[in-house]
């Protein structure tokens, strides 16, 4: 078996008395696109920083790109590309000048060659003289990606890279990520978008510092073992009100003219849904559970555990 790009065990990080990353173990295979999901403040950024050697764990161990997380942090830093949540450029420099600056920081030589190759690689050559400050969100993000892959890292850590970017630019960004992964780069990417989670080979869901689910999207949905039913008809608003107080109903979510009800106890849910559908003149049918339903369930269960 080939060595994983990331393999960490029991990773723990405390800030003061607060345990922000709590005993997290995670494996990311080489060439894989791994998604990192979870509510805000759950420790995704902190975990990413532990993995690239920017922070030292209080407990736990692991290997990143075959190197020891504690002993070889400096070497790991050099082989990782890290795109932070709020990347910044010199707005009054062009795309090319910004990349020349980054090439200098990394000591890349010949810098012009690295910059030209990266510009071409990401389709930025025709825009290289444009000021960074004048770029749209999607192009700014492409420049940020260029800046973090120019030194040819083997692992990309992307922290919410598409927050606030329009759907077309997000899709293009993901096409780019898949192209890079097909060339052998490993990618760990945090996101809040469900469609992006579905573009990952595997996902990891962290809630309040703890890793609570992992696997392919299909595995995570299957493991959650939720039942979903859909009510349809004029009476869904009244049915929703009724269902929120009934047994077996963990989630009630209106979607247009339909109402989705979701729960762990399939038998109880079915009985409640049948009663509410009959009382409010709604039709009722089974449906697939969505990834978003699973995440909302995981989040509320994690909240219950710490409450």
Residues of this chain that bind ligand ADP (CB under 6 A): 15, 20, 38, 40-46
DSSP-based three-state secondary structure for 168 = helix
Q: How far is the CB of 169 from ligand ADP (least distance, A)?
A: 22
- On the CB side of 105, CA atoms within 13 Å amount to 11
When the beta carbons of 96 and 159 are compared against ligand ADP, the nearer one is 159
When the beta carbons of 164 and 256 are compared against ligand ADP, the nearer one is 164
When the beta carbons of 10 and 254 are compared against ligand ADP, the nearer one is 10
Burial (Cβ within 10 Å: 0-12, 13-18, ≥19) of residue 44: buried
Rg (CA), the chain: 23
Q: How far is the CB of 191 from ligand ADP (least distance, A)?
A: 11
Q: How far is the CB of 63 from ligand ADP (least distance, A)?
A: 21
Paired sense of beta strands 6-15 and 18-28, if any = antiparallel
Q: How far is the CB of 178 from ligand ADP (least distance, A)?
A: 24
When the beta carbons of 45 and 251 are compared against ligand ADP, the nearer one is 45
Q: How far is the CB of 162 from ligand ADP (least distance, A)?
A: 15
When the beta carbons of 56 and 257 are compared against ligand ADP, the nearer one is 56
Q: Are 34 and 204 in contact (CB under 8 A)?
A: yes
- Cα–Cα distance between 99 and 112 in angstroms, integer? 9
> Would you say how long the chain is, in residues?
307
Render the burial of 256-272: b for 16+ CB within 10 Å, e for the rest. eebbbbbbebeeebbeb
């Amino acid at each position: 078996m080939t060595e994983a790009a990331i393999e960490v065990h029991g990773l723990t990080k405390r800030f003061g008395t607060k345990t922000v990353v709590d005993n997290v173990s995670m494996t990311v295979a080489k060439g894989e696109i791994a998604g990192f999901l979870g509510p805000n403040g759950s420790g995704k950024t902190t975990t990413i920083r532990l993995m690239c050697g920017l922070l030292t764990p209080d407990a736990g161990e692991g290997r990143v790109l075959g190197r020891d997380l504690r002993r070889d942090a400096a070497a790991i830093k050099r082989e990782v590309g890290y795109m932070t949540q709020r990347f910044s450029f010199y707005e009054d420099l062009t795309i090319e000048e910004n990349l020349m600056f980054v090439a200098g920081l990394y000591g890349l030589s010949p810098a012009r060659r690295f910059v030209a190759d990266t510009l071409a690689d990401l389709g930025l050559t025709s825009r290289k003289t444009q000021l960074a400050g004048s770029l749209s969100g999607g192009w700014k993000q492409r420049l940020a990606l260029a800046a973090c892959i120019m030194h040819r890292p083997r692992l990309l850590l992307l922290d919410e890279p598409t927050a606030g970017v329009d759907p077309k630019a997000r899709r293009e960004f993901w096409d780019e990520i898949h192209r890079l992964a097909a060339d052998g780069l490993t990618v760990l990417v945090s996101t809040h978008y469900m469609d992006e989670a579905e573009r990952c080979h595997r996902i990891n869901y962290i809630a309040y510092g703890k890793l609570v689910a992992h696997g392919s999207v299909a595995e995570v949905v299957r493991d959650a073992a939720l039942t979903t039913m859909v009510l349809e008809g004029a009476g869904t608003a009244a049915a929703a009100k009724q269902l929120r107080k009934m047994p077996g109903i963990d989630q009630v979510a209106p979607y247009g003219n339909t109402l989705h009800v979701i729960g762990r106890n399939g038998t109880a849910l079915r009985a409640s849904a049948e009663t509410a559908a009959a009382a409010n003149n709604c039709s009722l049918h089974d449906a697939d559970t969505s990834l978003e339903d699973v995440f909302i369930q995981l989040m509320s269960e994690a909240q219950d555990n710490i409450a």
